[in-house]
Amino acid sequence: MAEDKNPAGKPLLSGFLKSTQLMELDACTRCQECMKWCPTYDVYNDRPEITPMYKIAKFRELLGSQHGLRAKLFGSKPLNEDEVDQFMDDTYMCTTCGVCGTVCESGINTVELWEAIRPNLVVRGNGPWGKQNFFPILLGKDRNPYQAKQEDRLCWVPKDAEVLDSGKIAYFAGCTAAYRQQALGVATVRILNALDIPFCMLGEDEWCCSSALVRTGQRDVMKAHAVHNVDAMKDRGVETVVYACAGCIRTASIDWPRWYEGYIPYKNVPLSVYLREKVESGEIEWKRALDNLKVTFHDPCHSGRHLMHLVGRDWAFEAPRDVYKSIPGLEYREMTRSREFQRCCGAGGGVKAGQADLALGCAEARVADGEAVGADVISSTCPFCRRNIMDGRNSSGSSAKVADQVELMAAAMGLDVTIPDNPYMEFQEQDEIACKGGVCQIEESAETKSDDIDGY
């Protein structure tokens, strides 16, 4: 896509936008509801042009200059490249969280709209934004965004853990759990083992889900990753894939099938849904009570709003809550903005890689949401949300801790989640749950240790 980076003279549209999406541009009633909810506008409230209403109007205007009535009667004028550049900036100032689509009176599917507009800008040479350029290069070369070795995919798995090479159930760990938040991976493996669930992992055959590519409009490497991962599952005879990463399950459920020509024989299940079944069937043996721990749940956009129509509200929103509420001693607090109306943490849509300040601003707002309900711990089921909320916590000086649901659960189950020594220990970025006897404490990670180019 990036052969010629000079946009001058290139058309604004080169594909990607469906005809019904072009119709959506005319469906905006300018009711301004999206502006009330947009998390990025909350941060940059002096820039209304980054909100959906303005972006839709601008894109319609740019398209109109090329294909409107005037252009038809008198010929189209050359595009004003400054305006297109400005529009590109505004379009990439978006985490693709989708709350605008949820509240849109006209039912515009905004996430799909932004993700269809962005590739056109990439093809023109306007996009993507800043370091987002590196995603296709890194994924094409290393198959993960962390420049890590593929052979190290399972370097964090404890020696005594039982992970099969093939089987009916697979755990797709994702790049962040494999290289940056290995405690999450270890906790997941330990829980599955403790429940005597035989499962396999793809190991070197697990390639990045490529969420960052879809979100930033860089679709070149996407197909290879989607096809490779699906084929790897099929080769192992997998029937159920569990995910402890919201970005991965969103991409595997919605995006991979678009690229895979053929039948996909397995189902994708969020780990929280799988664990809730085990909780309800009484198979989980709790060893510790997480006494006096006030925990709030940050719904990840990718496994919540993005998936709710595919998997239903129960899987998207209620399953993780049911799991928290089942943990002994844990006091669950609900944030004011939750479920489909939650406030995005700010990491998604390539924003963390492209506009780090914006991502941080969103995260700080989300940390404040957690503090407002008196939560000690802001927990999530997305490693990338966790990482950004942790960054927001550190920059805002909040005392809130940040932990993944699976790790809280492993702590309450009394499981040993020690990460075996591996080449990525120095890059670990997670608050750690330390338990002695019956008491668990969360020790915060005070800084961001690596300078990754990452993003969902």
Partner 1 sequence: MAFYTLGLTFWIVIALTIAVLAIWIYGLYFNFKKWGMGSTGYQDKLRNSFWLFIATWIHEAFKDGIWVFVKTAILDVLLLRRTLRRSPVRWVMHMTMFYGFVTLAALSGLGLFMDIIEHFNLLGLTHQAEMVKGFMELPFDIFGYMLLVGSTIAVARRIVLKQVRDNTSAYDVVLLGGVFLITISGFYAEWLRGNSFLVGDAFANSVYAPHFSLLHTILALALFVAILPWSKYMHIIAAPLTILANRGGE
Q: Does 193 bind partner 1 (CB under 8 A)?
A: no
Q: Which residues 166-185 are close enough to bind partner 1 by CB under 8 A? A: none
Token couple for 15: 């594909």
Question: From the CB of 309, what's the least distance to partner 1, in Å?
Answer: 7
Q: Does 310 bind partner 1 (CB under 8 A)?
A: no
* C-alpha pair distances (Å), 25 with each of 110, 432, 438: 10, 46, 57
Q: Which residues 383-442 are close enough to bind partner 1 by CB under 8 A? A: none
Distance CA 163, CA 242 (A): 14
Q: Are 197 and 97 in contact (CB under 8 A)?
A: no
> What SS3 class is residue 424?
coil
Phi and psi at residue 287, to the nearest 5°:
-110, -25
Q: Does 40 bind partner 1 (CB under 8 A)?
A: no
Distance CA 119, CA 46 (A): 27
Question: From the CB of 69, what's the least distance to partner 1, in Å?
Answer: 6
- Strands 377-380, 294-298: pairing is parallel
Distance in angstroms between the alpha carbons of the first and the last residue of the chain: 20
Question: From the CB of 292, what's the least distance to partner 1, in Å?
Answer: 38
CA atoms within 13 A on the CB side of 36: 9
**Residue owning tokens 């940056």:** 180
Q: Which residues 236-265 are close enough to bind partner 1 by CB under 8 A? A: 258-259
CA atoms within 13 A on the CB side of 246: 33
**Residue owning tokens 């999206």:** 34
Q: Does 268 bind partner 1 (CB under 8 A)?
A: no
User: At residue 453, what is the residue type?
Assistant: I
Question: From the CB of 313, what's the least distance to partner 1, in Å?
Answer: 12
Question: From the CB of 72, what's the least distance to partner 1, in Å?
Answer: 8
For partner 1, the closer of residues 33 and 205 by Cβ is 33
Q: Are 406 and 191 in contact (CB under 8 A)?
A: yes
Q: Does 13 bind partner 1 (CB under 8 A)?
A: yes
Site map (CB under 8 A) of partner 1, residues 313-352, x = contact = ---------------------------x------------
CB atoms within 10 A of CB 344: 33
Q: Does 18 bind partner 1 (CB under 8 A)?
A: yes
Q: Does 68 bind partner 1 (CB under 8 A)?
A: yes
Question: From the CB of 367, what's the least distance to partner 1, in Å?
Answer: 25
Q: Does 140 bind partner 1 (CB under 8 A)?
A: no
Enclosing H/E stretch for 160: none
Q: Does 450 bind partner 1 (CB under 8 A)?
A: no
Q: Are 385 and 456 in contact (CB under 8 A)?
A: no
Token couple for 36: 């009330």
Binding residue (CB under 8 A) for partner 1 from 1, 2, 33, 368? 33
* C-alpha pair distances (Å), 453 with each of 162, 182, 212, 223, 424: 32, 18, 10, 21, 16
Of the listed pieces 107-115, 131-139, 185-193, 403-411, which binds partner 1 according to CB under 8 A? 107-115
User: At residue 132, what is the residue type?
Assistant: Q
Helix locations, 195-267, DSSP H: 211-215, 222-235, 246-250, 256-259
Question: From the CB of 3, what's the least distance to partner 1, in Å?
Answer: 18
Q: Does 73 bind partner 1 (CB under 8 A)?
A: no
Of the listed pieces 8-16, 128-136, 154-162, 179-187, which binds partner 1 according to CB under 8 A? 8-16
Of the listed pieces 94-102, 139-147, 352-360, 369-377, which binds partner 1 according to CB under 8 A? 94-102
Of the listed pieces 19-27, 164-172, 382-390, 427-435, which binds partner 1 according to CB under 8 A? 19-27
Whether a cis peptide bond, with omega within 30° of 0, leads into 128 is yes
Binding residue (CB under 8 A) for partner 1 from 4, 8, 83, 107? 107
- DSSP letters, 50-84, are GSHHHHHHHHHHHHHHHHSHHHHHH-PPPP-HHHH
Of the listed pieces 105-113, 147-155, 266-274, 345-353, which binds partner 1 according to CB under 8 A? 105-113
Q: Does 77 bind partner 1 (CB under 8 A)?
A: no
Of the listed pieces 26-34, 241-249, 271-279, 395-403, which binds partner 1 according to CB under 8 A? 26-34
Q: Does 27 bind partner 1 (CB under 8 A)?
A: yes
For partner 1, the closer of residues 111 and 200 by Cβ is 111
Q: Does 2 bind partner 1 (CB under 8 A)?
A: no
User: At residue 364, what is the residue type?
Assistant: E
Least Cα distance to 418 among 201, 51, 156 occurs for: 156
Binding residue (CB under 8 A) for partner 1 from 3, 6, 26, 397? 26
Q: Which residues are near partner 1 by CB under 8 A?
A: 13-24, 26-33, 35-36, 48, 53, 57, 63, 67-69, 72, 98, 101-109, 219, 258-259, 305, 308-309, 340
